[in-house]
Structure 1
């Protein structure tokens, strides 16, 4: 019987979700909150202002199909960044640098793959938690795929290291400027307050993620036939290269250029608000540097770049279609209705249950609002007054938000970075879901325990603002950060 059922292609799944969102625009009441423009130029909702839309918008079938190219255009920054990274890494592979690096790392970790898994997850979690890195990890995917392949692991293990580190880093971030800091500003809390608990949570949650990835990796090592990606083509090729070139001075100089480029990118993000356009430019510069140092001819470099881009055409389409789900809901005026509908039951729960409910709500909403900062601007102005009424300290509301936003980044198909990572590694979404969903359950249980404990021990009471007994009618104004 199982032979007769075939899981649809990821593109089919995403289009089906778009269609479901389209149908929902006809069934869900349409409405919206009033919004205000903050000093930093972002829009934030005003609590207690939800109204049903006077004019009901009925999207036509043509609107549905037009949303597909619109979604591709809306995701162009991620799409072209992935193209650039893929092309530049193809150039680096042509110089032998990638294979030499894999060989060098294999010598160091070949007998201790568990150390590699832990170090990658831990380091990526620290970076994501500190400065909000995410798309910057895409260049490491193919390198880790090659390394895992040499260790008799699989592409799923490589993706697990990257995505689990990134998701846990966002979920237990100590001071991510794109999520925690914005949420604390909206909640009128001192910046960096509550940092002691968040720092204490990093290692336990990383260990949960490491245990999940390593348990799977060990299973694949012992029996490659149990790999979730068995039979799928490897994005590097299907050959088994046992003779890796030595890491010579030219390769080291190219790798130094990569580290320097990433350092410049991190500096630009933190100091000047750079994002994917600027990061793409940085990687183009590194690509030119690689061509010169690697002594490749212009024609060879151009051909390799185009080959690298061509290999990611499917990934680019998936990234764009994923954006269409939220786009249709915005066009159909039901996004705010869903937020409003989810927030109402929280006011009838006890503090402990409400804190966990906030986490569940933020997790579900991340499917429709995959931007961490965007989710904060939409949901936190609503969660703050609800929490004030039912006895959930604002610091706990922020914690519930970051748990919901961060952990679900690892599994929601509307997350363009996730789709880029699994696409580059050649891992279909349904197989990634099979791998990641049990981990989501483990992390969710741990998060719920933390939130209940936070309520019991009155976490955040030392910085809780004095509030009135009614729901405030104005949103907190956020100053430029």
Structure 2
């Protein structure tokens, strides 16, 4: 008896979504909002200005095909970051540092895998909540896959703890500069206001993610046939590691430099607005340092770098095609139509239903606008006046945006970071979807409860702008 219904290859699935997006541009009326340039130079939509285009423009199959190379060009920063990272990590593996680290972690957590899972989910969630880290987790994936393999777990467990930490951290973020800060600025709220509630719900949501991953991991550890990726090739190969070297001073220095590189990256993101180009440069520098300390010859390092990059070619392809889905929607001018149509029904329901509707709309729209800040600039100018009309505090509308954007990052195939993580781990998207959707349901139910409670308790009324004050 087959465990699962046959799911197409991830690349086939993504291209099929591009085709469906093109067909949608033939059916959905095309329209747009006027936009205005804010003080930070970003464009935001102007509420009440939606208008249909005078002449419908139908995308042709040829334009669908040309969208693919354009999508690769649009996602080039993520693609090249993944390829460079794969090459650099291959050099690090050649020094024996990764195997030595796995051996040390096995001795510490080998009999307590639940502690490892909790630690990874918690730490990744903390980082995403504080500084909006996302792509920075990609270097850890292969290490976690190798560690899980040695602990009789599987690649799905490694991806689960990584993505759960990333998505939950974004969803309940206290100070994320790419989501919370931007959304509050658009809503005319004091920056970082309302932090107490977000801090209070952080641990409960992290525990929801941990419980989901650990419940699955326990079943796999007890019976490997229960693995959702059983029978699929492991990205590290099928040969068992005969033994793990001792963690010597060279390995320790390489690991210390890796942690330092992550620290430099975090500082650069926070202080100088760095992104993937600068991140790639930092990891290239770490790779060169690893070559010197690990005493890897130049020719060996070059060969390992190429091999590592080649191993992630499939991942790069998935990232490029995933970007094409939203690109087709943008070309077909139906994105603003969807936003407008989804927001209209909320004006006819009560506050409690409307705030849950906001959550679902933000969750749905993240499929088409996978950028957290981009989604804020498109949706928040519409949700803010709508929340005023329905007597929902603006702070609650911001929280609904956070939940919808953050949690859905864990499952939407248009998220380049997600596709990079599952691609590196060798987990097909269909298998990941089956693992993740129950977690999404749990998080959406929990966040709906929080949002309804926030409406009842008047969360954010203390900072509500006077011009938008709510009747008591």
Instruction: Report the TM-score range of the alignment, normalised by the length of the smaller protein.
Output: over 0.9
Residue in 1 that maps onto 2:324: 324
Q: Are 2:162 and 1:162 aligned?
A: yes
* Deviation per residue, 1:30-49 (Å, 9 max, x gap): 00000011222211101111
Segments of 5+ residues of structure 1 without an aligned counterpart are 471-481
Residue in 2 that maps onto 1:59: 59
What is the DSSP-based 3-state SS (H/G/I as helix, E as strand, rest coil) of the residue aligned with 1:467? helix
Residue in 2 that maps onto 1:81: 81
Residue in 1 that maps onto 2:141: 141
Residue in 2 that maps onto 1:389: 389
Report the CA distance between 1:467 and its aligned residue: 2.9
Instruction: Please tell me whether the aligned partners of residues 388 and 467 of structure 1 are also in contact (alpha carbons under 8 angstroms).
Output: no
Report the CA distance between 1:4 and its aligned residue: 11
Report the CA distance between 1:469 and its aligned residue: 9.5
Q: Are 2:276 and 1:280 aligned?
A: no
Q: What TM-score do you get using the length of structure 1 for normalisation?
A: 0.96
Q: Relative to 1, partners in 2 of residues 1:4 and 1:126: Cα closer, same or farther, differing over 3 Å?
A: closer
Q: Are 2:234 and 1:258 aligned?
A: no
* Deviation per residue, 1:212-264 (Å, 9 max, x gap): 00000000000001100111111111111141000000000111110111111
Instruction: Please tell me whether the aligned partners of residues 95 and 294 of structure 1 are also in contact (alpha carbons under 8 angstroms).
Output: yes
Q: What TM-score do you get using the length of structure 2 for normalisation?
A: 0.98
Residue in 1 that maps onto 2:364: 364
Instruction: Please tell me whether the aligned partners of residues 395 and 460 of structure 1 are also in contact (alpha carbons under 8 angstroms).
Output: yes
Structure 1: distance between partners of 2:335 and 2:92: 43
Structure 1: distance between partners of 2:40 and 2:285: 31
Structure 2: distance between partners of 1:427 and 1:5: 16
Structure 2: distance between partners of 1:84 and 1:197: 39
Residue in 1 that maps onto 2:176: 176
Aligned length: 470
Residue in 1 that maps onto 2:228: 228
* Deviation per residue, 1:373-414 (Å, 9 max, x gap): 000000000000000001111000000000000000000000
Structure 1: distance between partners of 2:165 and 2:110: 21
What is the DSSP-based 3-state SS (H/G/I as helix, E as strand, rest coil) of the residue aligned with 2:466? coil
Residue in 1 that maps onto 2:247: 247
Residue in 1 that maps onto 2:297: 297
Residue in 2 that maps onto 1:477: none
Structure 2: distance between partners of 1:270 and 1:425: 28
Instruction: Please tell me whether the aligned partners of residues 125 and 168 of structure 1 are also in contact (alpha carbons under 8 angstroms).
Output: yes
* Deviation per residue, 1:56-79 (Å, 9 max, x gap): 211111101100111111110000
Q: Relative to 1, partners in 2 of residues 1:37 and 1:426: Cα closer, same or farther, differing over 3 Å?
A: same
Structure 1: distance between partners of 2:469 and 2:211: 45
Residue in 1 that maps onto 2:43: 43
Instruction: Please tell me whether the aligned partners of residues 367 and 413 of structure 1 are also in contact (alpha carbons under 8 angstroms).
Output: yes
Moved over 4 A (4+): 1-5
Structure 2: distance between partners of 1:225 and 1:4: 13
